[in-house]
Amino acid sequence: VYAGDGTLNEAANALIGTTVALAPLPGGSTNVFARTLGLPDNATEATRIVLDSLAAESIRHIGTGSVNGRHFLFHCGVGWDATLVRQTEKRARFKRFLGHGLFVWCGLETWFHLYDRTRPHFAVHHEDGRTIPNGCFTVVQNTNPYTFVGHHPFNVAPDLTLVDPLAVTTLTELRSKPFLGLMWDTLRSPESLVTHAIVDHVAKTNGLTITADEPVPHQADGDDLGDATLLEFHHHPDSLRVVIPERYPW
């Protein structure tokens, strides 16, 4: 499938539970999943690697996450980044020309004008019974990295692979100073994120629930899924066959 992450997500949802394997090729602006597998951003080079992988029969079952029944390949974001994705989709015609610049612009617009960072928006209920009542932004990952900043992976759960359960990271505060400090520390040393004062991190979980008094935005693999007051997450091991380069670090 030569496509961006959103279209790749739709293809994956159609193939869940079948014997047909998904072969991703980078056709979008960020191509998080294809690059996570070790494919280059160049479609010609990526095609050669995928063909070599097919010849070597390098096809594996991977796990996927789901939110309210919609499967995702690399992550689902709740809150701030989902609002950012929504703004980006409104300007989708500019993606090809502006690339990452569009994400930066929409990120700043969302940060300063479109998402209320002064209060919590939802509660996160973990499978061990713990509840985080003051969630401002949550990302549920099926694999790492969370995204790419240019050529650099933005690692939130560095040890997470495509055969592991989900990882959950919740920020309980979004004031500029602590948030920017967290981003800087994470870029330098991803391991520091889990000990940060405004972060609740669960390395491996098979499921969780998010509840909200008012509908909150959520996105999966960069696709806006709308707003909801109840989000139910599950991990589905071995649910999708994927053509994977032999270089992928299992």
Q: Looking at the predicted structure, is the pLDDT value of residue 246 above 90?
A: no
Our CA angle for 156, 107, 205, nearest 5°, is 30
When comparing pLDDT for 246 and 49, which is higher? 49
Query: Which tens digits make up the pLDDT trace of 125-170?
Result: 999 999 999 999 999 999 999 998 888 898 999 999 999 999 999 9
CATH no. of 66-235: 2.60.200.40
What 184-187 contacts at long range (C-beta under 8 Å, 24+ apart), as own/partner pairs, is 186/154, 186/155, 186/156, 187/149, 187/152, 187/154
Domain residue ranges of the chain, discontinuous segments joined by +: 2-65, 66-235
pTM: 0.91
Structure tokens given for 206: 């098979």
With CA atoms as reference, report the closest residue to 123 among 141, 142, 140, 138. Answer: 138
Query: Of the spans 135-149, 169-183, 185-199, which averages the highest pLDDT?
Result: 135-149
